[in-house]
Structure 1
Amino acid sequence: MSENLQPLGKEQLAQMRESFDEHDAHRVAMNAVTGAGINEVARNYDKSRLLQRRFSVTVDNGDVTSQEHSGRCWLFSSLNVARFIAKKSMNLKEFEFSQNYAMYYDKLERINYFLQDVAELVRSGETSDSRLIQHLLNDVMGDGGQWTMAMNLYKKYGAVPKDLFPETASSRNTSEMNVHLRSLLHQAVAHMYENTGDIDAIVKTTLEAGHRVLTIHLGTPPTSFDWEWTDKDDNFHRDGEITPQEFWKKYVDAGLEDYVCLVDDPRSEHPKGHKIAIEHLGNVVGGDATEYLNVPVDFMKDMARRILSEESIPVWFGADCHPMMDRKNGAWATDLFEYGRVYDFDFDLDKEERVRYNDSAMNHAMAFVGVDVADDGTTTRRWRVENSWGCKIADKGYFTMEDSWFSEFVYEVAVPKSMLPAEYQEALKKPAIKLPAWDPMGALAR
């Protein structure tokens, strides 16, 4: 440790204690927070009671889903968009895709992606203690993902109704399964470095073991099934035997696979109107690369508004969900809690600084299903959000987001490529700015 570092001394500690005790407001805050918790004390009463929960445009998607104790929000939210389309196609009031099916193939594909990626790095001479290898080892086998990664799965494997491949104990709570898969892959990397001549055999053996682990935890996914349903008008339908790929193409024929991801990377060195990509980020080898088009946040809002208003389809998005969130009542607003007043301290980082200094990143994916638009027809005021945390919180699981919160904490939306203006269409054809694997824009929704 550097000799210039200063230890916390007794006099300094005594001075801070004395300063704390001198202010009655500090003691009142301590008494309140120790008993009730910071959010109950810091809640902005006026904002909480005056935040309207009505919207000029709504897209009804029925009962919310629940990812339970897993980080599958990106799969749930993308399938929530897809199920809205499927319900219209089949004239159903309620319908849900199997998120377990999607996770099974994501995990299997991600095992292969990781093994192939690391094998190439080992062969190229990347050392085991490099920042890249250590980052990949640390991040492997989490549940998180991105819109493009979800579309890679649906294009290759399709989707199935939930009752044909239901949840299991391990899909509801993925922690134990992930621990064993992570150890399996860590061991594979160790063996690669110890036996560089046997890398192909190590990859093959580990992939087969990963398949066994996944199947033991999640079950054997169907390759075809008989599909029958009764619609909301009480009419019976029989589709006969169908594959998951055929089911997706037939009932979710809305071009979701051709969507592009818009992001608001607020750092000044990353120009708007250019693609960015994260190295070593993906799930399906040979699938579409995880790339984003960096645009102003107001453009993202306008696209989301237009999709809801003109296309009447939910809009997938990713955000840093934790700041200024009232989970119980289902609300986000930039001044929903007055932490600074309670702590007697100003929190003054802007969006760019929060990203640059690791204070904020996209960590949760949801779907917009409503927006309130001002009388001018374009200015957005607040947003209705379909979450995947179950129906026992918020408005039966639906949240309300104030528009200013969108500006500060929403990072990504998925939109139809065809809706982009000509200059952005051209930008998509150009090479992406490559960012390292640990860049905050590579954060995964969980």
Structure 2
Amino acid sequence: MATELTPQTLAALRAQHANTAQRAVLTRTITRNGIRAASFNYQATAHLDRTFSIEVPTGKVSNQKHSGRCWEFSLLNTLRHKFATKYHVKDFELSENYLFFWDRIERANTFFRNVEQTARQPINDRLVQFFFDNPGEDGGQWAMAASLVEKYGVVPASAMPETANTNDTGAFQAILSRQLRRDGLKLRELVQANASAADLHAAEQTMLAEIYRITAYSFGEPPTEFTLSYRDDQQQYHRQSGLTPQRFYQDYFDTDLNDYVVVTNSPDKPFNQLYSLPDQDNVINGAHPIEFLNVDMDVLTNVAVQQLQAGETLWFGNDVLQQLDRKQGYLDAHLYETAALFDVDDQLTKAQRLVTGEGMVSHAMTLTGVDLVDAVPTKWKVENSWGAEVGDKGYFVMSQDWFNAYVYEVVVHRRFLAPEFQDLLTEPARRLPAWDPLH
């Protein structure tokens, strides 16, 4: 049992450290160069060449800049790759700003609902605190982006380009969170005072109008109609006017998002089970509630390979800041050998990382290729959304070890799932708490 640190205990620690071999050399090395540089394992990069046996043709990468919108960038990347293939437009890009605008409005609306439903619980209740913690956050899930696409459609990047506030969402996020917290407290007061449904609705409408105004001033207002014009890769000119965002999506994209499933590997909970995260849904009655089919890592790997073999890229959720060389675009589980550097054992299993907060789904990217050796994947090609200045023109290479350790979700067409897994999709989903690591 831990007790007070006495002078004797501290002296023993000093004496023990004094007897450590090479302590002076290691101290100079680590203090001068930093932990990452001192622990960098150059041998880990030897097998991270950028040659892949299966590779889906793609174009220039997008850039989310200083924002947490990777979840929508990755979904729009998978859609634009299909558009590029079908219409022969290599570097076509869809507007991330357009979806983000509607996410801000929809998420404010769901925040109001969540606050009202928990208004009689103490303000320090864990769920209430979760809702109030960062209501203006810009992170999200695949299903959230899918629900927005289904409801609002999509537009080309030229129809609603990025702004200073979408490229750097920090100030907007702080203002939105403060406004929503104020609104949330007011709604709690109204519910606790037994306000009528009409009074609650009137208050919500006033609040939503203010959120809309803040967002429209910051992002610009979404177009209700636009003209699509582009030159294809053969320099042929194409133009269609009078398109609505919904019609553009329906006419130009043949992807049925209902056919796609979020397959996850979260070993802190039982496998072969469907889970839901309703407290994270961003659209009330949205087409795509947040659900995960939790499976063994071999199953997840297999369906990801199958989809790439079929010529289709994948959205995938991961913990990108683990074992990352951002500049070179390397992802390898042994890139930094910090345990060897400090002569400690710091290993945690994937399940242990999740339950202790060490592991999380912190980023979404796009799988565009895989290298198979004797039908076994050894490394993957990754399209990131951090611009062309990092990695190989924005593309990363990821080892299979990193994939096993830090990839948690892939979005695949249900046809790649074995029948027994497809059957699981019809069963009731088990509700996860709002703060589950998969959030």
Query: TM-score, normalised on structure 2?
Result: 0.95
Task: Give the structure 1 partner of residue 175 of structure 2.
Answer: 180
Question: Which among 141, 146, 151 is matched to residue 136 of structure 2?
Answer: 141
- Give the aligned residue type for 1:126: Q
- Give the aligned residue type for 2:368: V
User: Aligned-pair distance for 1:352?
Assistant: 0.9
Q: Output the CA distance in 2 between the equivalents of 1:190 and 1:351.
A: 38
Task: Give the structure 2 partner of residue 54 of structure 1.
Answer: 51
Task: Give the structure 1 partner of residue 365 of structure 2.
Answer: 366
User: Aligned-pair distance for 1:271?
Assistant: 2.4
Q: Output the CA distance in 2 between the equivalents of 1:16 and 1:38.
A: 22
Task: Give the structure 1 partner of residue 321 of structure 2.
Answer: 322
Question: Which among 9, 16, 41 is matched to residue 19 of structure 1?
Answer: 16
Q: Output the CA distance in 2 between the equivalents of 1:368 and 1:105.
A: 26
User: Aligned-pair distance for 1:5?
Assistant: 6.3
2:424 counterpart of 1:430 = no
1:47 counterpart SS class: helix
Q: Output the CA distance in 2 between the equivalents of 1:128 and 1:180.
A: 21
Per-residue Cα deviation, 1:261-292 (whole angstroms, up to 9, x for no partner) = 0011102xx32221011241111111121111
Q: Output the CA distance in 1 between the equivalents of 2:364 and 2:225.
A: 29
2:295 counterpart of 1:309 = no
Residue correspondence of structure 1 range 23-422 to structure 2 within 5 A: 23-122=20-119, 125-196=120-191, 197=195, 198-267=199-268, 270-287=269-286, 288-310=288-310, 312-375=311-374, 377=375, 379-422=376-419
Contact in 2 for aligned 1:119/1:199 (Cα 8 Å): no
User: Aligned-pair distance for 1:23?
Assistant: 2.1
| RMSD between superposed Cα atoms in Å | 1.5
- Give the aligned residue type for 1:214: T
- Give the aligned residue type for 1:307: Q
Contact in 2 for aligned 1:384/1:400 (Cα 8 Å): yes
Per-residue Cα deviation, 1:247-271 (whole angstroms, up to 9, x for no partner) = 112222122343110011102xx32
Contact in 1 for aligned 2:306/2:416 (Cα 8 Å): no
Larger deviation, residues 190-199 vs 167-176: 190-199
Per-residue Cα deviation, 1:137-194 (whole angstroms, up to 9, x for no partner) = 1132111111111100001111111111111110001011111111111111211222
Q: Output the CA distance in 2 between the equivalents of 1:194 and 1:425.
A: 45
Contact in 2 for aligned 1:54/1:372 (Cα 8 Å): yes
1:133 counterpart SS class: helix
Q: Output the CA distance in 1 between the equivalents of 2:51 and 2:28.
A: 37
1:195 counterpart SS class: helix
1:370 counterpart SS class: strand
User: Aligned-pair distance for 1:410?
Assistant: 0.5
- Give the aligned residue type for 2:116: A
User: Aligned-pair distance for 1:119?
Assistant: 1.2
Q: Output the CA distance in 1 between the equivalents of 2:436 and 2:293.
A: 16
Contact in 1 for aligned 2:369/2:382 (Cα 8 Å): yes
Q: Output the CA distance in 1 between the equivalents of 2:112 and 2:395.
A: 39
Larger deviation, residues 9-18 vs 276-285: 9-18
Contact in 2 for aligned 1:305/1:371 (Cα 8 Å): yes
User: Aligned-pair distance for 1:414?
Assistant: 0.4
2:140 counterpart SS class: coil
Per-residue Cα deviation, 1:210-254 (whole angstroms, up to 9, x for no partner) = 101100100011011111211110111122210111111222212
Contact in 2 for aligned 1:98/1:165 (Cα 8 Å): yes
Mark the CA change 1:236 to 1:133 in structure 2 (over 3 Å): closer, same or farther.
same
Query: TM-score, normalised on structure 1?
Result: 0.93
User: Aligned-pair distance for 1:24?
Assistant: 4.0
2:104 counterpart SS class: helix
Per-residue Cα deviation, 1:330-388 (whole angstroms, up to 9, x for no partner) = 1111111110111111112111111111110111000100000112x3x1111010001
1:441 counterpart SS class: coil
Unaligned runs of 5+ in 1: none
Identity across aligned pairs (percent)? 36
Contact in 2 for aligned 1:128/1:193 (Cα 8 Å): no
Contact in 1 for aligned 2:127/2:434 (Cα 8 Å): yes
Larger deviation, residues 276-285 vs 382-391: 276-285
Q: Output the CA distance in 1 between the equivalents of 2:113 and 2:281.
A: 12
